[in-house]
Every structure is written in structure tokens, then in C-alpha cells.
Homo-oligomer: A and B are copies of this chain.
Amino acid sequence: MSLSHAILTALIDENLTGYELAKQFDVSLGFFWQASHQQIYRELKQLHEQDYVAVEEVPQLGKPDKRVYSLTAAGQQMLEAWILAPTRSRNPKDELFIKLYNVGLVPIASIIAAIDQRQDEHRRKLALYRKIESRSYADPASLSDRKKGIYLSLLAGIRQEETGLGWCIDARKLLASVDT
């Protein structure tokens, strides 16, 4: 599965602890692939058993010892092979649409409330992504190759949020004609 590949990807540039990886998965890569710390620790254990990552134990004063993970040659090879393989497309799952199939069953206000909630989420994410864009990716053509790839992910995020936001507005308009 792909959590392992996401972890290996994060380890290309820097060596990280499980804790630091979990934080990475709350931002950046985490915009497109989320994982909890429990998943990450479990996955790191398995990656280590297969020698795709190496560990260095770093004792610390007053804190638990750190376990700093780094990518091995085998790990990088595995990652490269996975990139060449066909990409599995995610099956979409969105509760909001199940709710929309039930217009007429419940007061329309409750459906509209769900759309408003979604609209807020889109707005928050869009603001965040645009901030990152203007800070680090203002001139895409002059970016390094690696940054171009990351920029394209960000661009996909921006457009998805814009599309979602626009849809929320139009959905509200159409639902205004529904009573109850």
C-alpha cells in the first residue's frame, strides 16, 4: 500500500523520527495523504524489518530516546519501482453526496447546513494553500525540478478547493427552490 511510499518519500531529503513524520503528515504531503501517528509507527516498524529504512537511536536528556529513520538504498529502489508501476485511483467516498440523495426526506435546512459546513472547509483550505503558493511558489517556471512536482500538487489542491467552493454556492442556489 501507499503509506509506506509516502513515508519513504518524506525521508528522501531528511532523516526523521516517527513523531516528526506524523507532523509532516499534517501538512504538505498530508494535504494529499493523511495518516495518524499510530499508522506511521506501525508502518515504520515494518519498513525497518524489510530494510527499507535504517534507524539510529538517539538518547536524549529528560525526554524519551529518539528513533531517527533514514532511507536505505533498498528503500529508494523500492520507491522508484513503485513510481513506475500503474497508479491506483482512489475510489471516491464523500458522505455529503449520500446526504444529497436524501433531499426530501429531511428538512432542507439540515442539508443546507451540511453544504455550509463544507463551504467553510473549502474556504479554509483554499486560504492556506494560496498562502503557501504566494510564499514559496509564486514563479512556477523558475522552480527546481523537485519543487515543480510539489507545486503541481499544491495547484491541484487549490483548484479542487476552488471547484468545491463554487459548487457549494451553486448548490445553495438550486436548493433555495426546495421547501420544507
Contact = CB atoms under 8 A, between A and B. Distances in A.
Interface of A: 2, 5-6, 9, 12, 29, 31-34, 76, 79-80, 83-84, 86-106, 108, 110-111, 114, 117-118, 121, 140-141, 144-146, 148-153, 155-156, 159-160, 162-164, 166-167, 170-171, 174-175, 177-179
B159 A33 contact: no
Chain A binding site: helix, strand, loop or mixed by DSSP?
helix
Contacts of A83: 99, 102, 105-106, 110-111, 114
A117 B87 contact: yes
Contacts of A98: 2, 5-6, 9, 29, 32-33
Contact of A79 (B93, B102, B166, B167): B102
A101 B148 contact: no
A80, A87, A104, A114: residue with the most chain B Cβ atoms closer than 10 Å: A87
Contacts of A151: 174
Contact of A12 (B87, B105, B118, B140): B105
A153 B97 contact: yes
Nearest to A2: B95
A7 to B, nearest CB: 10
